[in-house]
Chain A
Amino acid sequence: MTTDFQLPAIDYQAISPLLILFGVACLGVLVEAFVPRPARRRVQLGMALVGVLAALGAVVLLAGTNVVTAGGSVTVDGPALFMQGALLAFGVVALLLIGERRVEPGGAFVAQPAITVGSEADQRQASAPGATEVFPLAMFSLGGMALFIAASDLLTMFIALELLSLPLYLMCALARRHRLISQEAAVKYFLLGAYASGFFLFGVVLAYGYAGSVDLAAIHAAVDTSQMNPALLYAALALIVMGLLFKTAAAPFHVWAPDVYQGAPTPITAFMAACTKVAAFGALLRVTYVAFERLAWDWLPVIGVIAVLTMLVGAVLAVTQTDLKRLLAYSSIANAGFVLVGVLAVGRTGASSAMFYLVAYGFAVLGAFAVISLVRDREGETTHLSRWAGLGRRSPLVAGVFTVVMLALAGIPLTGGFTAKFAVFSAALEVGEGWLVIAGVVSSVIIAFPYLRVVVMMWLSEPSESTATMVAPGLLTGTALGIGALAVVGLGVVPGPVLDLAHDAALFLR
């Protein structure tokens, strides 16, 4: 027996947010097993909220930490903490939406997803209380995302990628209404996601072949010192970035997004749109800035083309959409392009602008999906644009919130969207990437059209028989809406503190 075994030093405080998230998730699984059914939802929601808030608190306490720990698996640095904080804030809002049961009897989730769609048993469970397993799943996913941002080697990053994706695939299949579309979305997401993971893993292997290590820092060092053929590294970079861009829904890896956004239960769509984007861009930033920074001149043009393509595809296709969830899906694609512009402005300003953009976009999109979950008819949510005509006259308050959110997404001044776009474009200009800015501005103009069309339809059309009704938001959705709207306006009016915070945080630890 060998006795030379040494446990690695683990800075438990530095990884406490992760531990809290995973711990609560595991507890949630136990709750499913041992707590009686009627009490589960309250216990789960309470535990999840407390857990995420505690993790958020831990992140705040960690501010300023710069440490690599857990045997070199986790890097806790400024960007990681900033984005973990954003992620957890979005997580709170998304959990509020997930926990909502006022708007629809039983909540947005089906009670027993195993029951065949359309069967007698399915009709019987039409208004049964929804599955509470979503809470632990969401917590696992959040934990995976938090780790994804902070992973300091590609293998841990891969595990985190799986850990954040698997629950998402599952949660996509749990919609209460339109279950077949929901299950189809889950299968599509799962299959394409599996391919993307495969690409990522291939890339990791090639990177290991080049650098002899999967550590991001070691790869960075090996760029200068390795004797291997650099083509190996380019292939690795291409495959890894492909896997990451899939998660961010950048063109041409975006095709899953509209179907999945439309099919998934709306709270999960909100969760995906806000949180997954942060996580994916966090990892992308870390990989490109930490491991492949010395190759920046090689990957800048390629990812630049992808960014332009993403913005234009998202913007142009958003114009043609008649379904609000699909519209927001294409908008999320376009927004991924805008964030990419920030990423491409390699440097502290670029990172901080991208991070700020993610925060502004996340709150806006959470608010948008919160409103979508409220507009309903007998069949459930009505997402067709024509049904929204005249909603502004019927329920001005919520329609007002939606208007603010839409304006923010369109990038109108005095909203978070404007500040964010401004930050991203100025960062790109600073490093001389003018062509990206031109493409960005053009697509901003294009994509403003569908947003404003919704606003115009809501306020300037007469309500007709086909106009859907707006359900009064319950406490949870109301809170979510309030947070979203306040954040959007706040980031537009006084962006200073968050911008400064992002700027202070935007230094990667290598």
Chain B
Amino acid sequence: MSVLLAQGVEVTAGEAWTFWLLAPIAVIGALGMVLARNAVHSALWLVLTMLALGVFYVVQSAPFLGLVQVVVYTGAIMMLFLFVLMLVGRDAADSLIETLRGQRAAAVLVGGGLAALLATGTYRWLEGTPAAGLAEANAEHGGNTEGLANLLFSRWVLGFELTGALLIVAALGALMLTHIVREPGERLSQPEQMRARFAPGNYPAPKPGPGVFATSSSNTTPAKLPDGTASPRSISPILPIRELTAAEAADKETER
């Protein structure tokens, strides 16, 4: 709490400690997310980074943002990611074959270069800039949450509404790309399946297995019924019924 209340230009020791403890963790999480071979591990590293970021927000007097980050990003969005990853399969590691030659080296070089440029750049450009803190902004409307609400519904009301439009588009798109309309009757409901099972012409009981009268272990050989006739139900309809040769059908002297 002392951290929460500590605002203003001074960066308190607690805030600094929290930052230096969590910043490496956040960076490690980000690196792990990129480097992990297993998609689920990748997602977990990202969760770690997001949690660290959430704590940063809280420490920087934006508790609402920090917790919403945890609830929405780690709670819902990453959970959706995990859901999809788990559906895809647990061993879905990425193929490591480069489709473009030298692409990985180039990506490391260019990406790393850009990251280094931006990181050192922002550090140098912002070095020595006094921290403004959120104390004043938070006090204006009696709290962080209230202040945020005030901004959202006054200055940014149009953007707020349009984010809703964006979500409609996203929902519509997800529906279009995943939902298949089933024509009525295309897929049988459970009662319909049951009715069909017991309808005349269908045989609802288990199909006869080869049983003790089997003459061969091949699954193309139909089972013999007790009266000696072959039961075509005992074999899959896609297999041709195998005619036994005279030699196979002959008495093998084992019946006695």
Contacts and interface: CB of A to CB of B under 8 A. Distances in A.
A2 B146 CA distance: 8
Given A170-B177, A209-B126, A137 B159 contact: no
B172 A147 contact: no
A272 to B, nearest CB: 16
Contacts of A6: 154
Interface in A237-261: none
A140 B176 contact: no
Nearest to B151: A71
B16 interface: no
A128 to B, nearest CB: 10
B166 A162 contact: yes
Given A8-B154, A235-B118, A147 B173 contact: no
A337 B150 CA distance: 43
A206 interface: yes
Contacts of B166: 159, 162-163, 166
A5 B150 contact: yes
Contacts of B165: 22, 25-26, 140, 143, 163
A73 interface: yes
Contact of A29 (B155, B163, B168, B180): B168
Interface string B106-149: 00000000000010011011100100000000000110001000
B125 A133 contact: no
A25 B173 CA distance: 14
Interface in A100-154: 112-115, 121, 131, 133, 136-137, 140, 143, 147
Interface stretch (A59-67, A226-234, A373-381): A226-234
Interface string B29-50: 0000000000000000000000
A434 to B, nearest CB: 33
A74 interface: yes
Nearest to A115: B180
Nearest to A231: B125
B176 A71 contact: no
B156 to A, nearest CB: 7
Contacts of A70: 157-158
Nearest to A25: B165
A167 B146 CA distance: 34
A113 B180 CA distance: 8
Interface in B174-229: 176-181
A346 B1 CA distance: 53
A147 B162 CA distance: 10
Contacts of B176: 113-114, 131, 133, 170, 174
Given A70-B157, A131-B176, A2 B121 contact: no
B118 A166 contact: no
**How many interface residues does chain A have, given as a range?**
35 or more
A299 to B, nearest CB: 17
Contacts of B179: 114
Contacts of B121: 231-232, 235
A130 to B, nearest CB: 12
B153 to A, nearest CB: 7
Nearest to B179: A114
Contacts of A235: 118, 121-122, 125
Contact of A155 (B146, B159, B173): B159
Contacts of A147: 162
Interface string A184-217: 0000000000000000001000100100000000
A206 B172 contact: no
B210 to A, nearest CB: 34
A206 B122 contact: yes
Nearest to B129: A228
Contacts of A140: 165, 168-169
Interface in A287-335: none
A133 B181 CA distance: 14
A397 interface: no
Given A114-B180, A231-B125, A159 B163 contact: yes
Contacts of B158: 10, 15, 70-71, 73-74, 156
B20 to A, nearest CB: 22
A133 B157 contact: no
B168 A26 contact: yes
Nearest to A5: B150
A137 B177 CA distance: 13
A39 interface: no
18 contacts: A4-B141, A5-B150, A5-B154, A7-B154, A10-B157, A22-B165, A25-B168, A71-B157, A72-B155, A114-B178, A133-B176, A160-B162, A169-B173, A170-B173, A209-B122, A232-B121, A232-B125, A235-B118
List 4 tightest A-B contacts by C-beta distance, closest first.
A229-B125, A70-B158, A170-B173, A73-B158
Given A114-B179, A133-B172, A209-B126, 7 more contacts: A2-B142, A2-B146, A5-B153, A29-B172, A71-B157, A133-B176, A143-B165
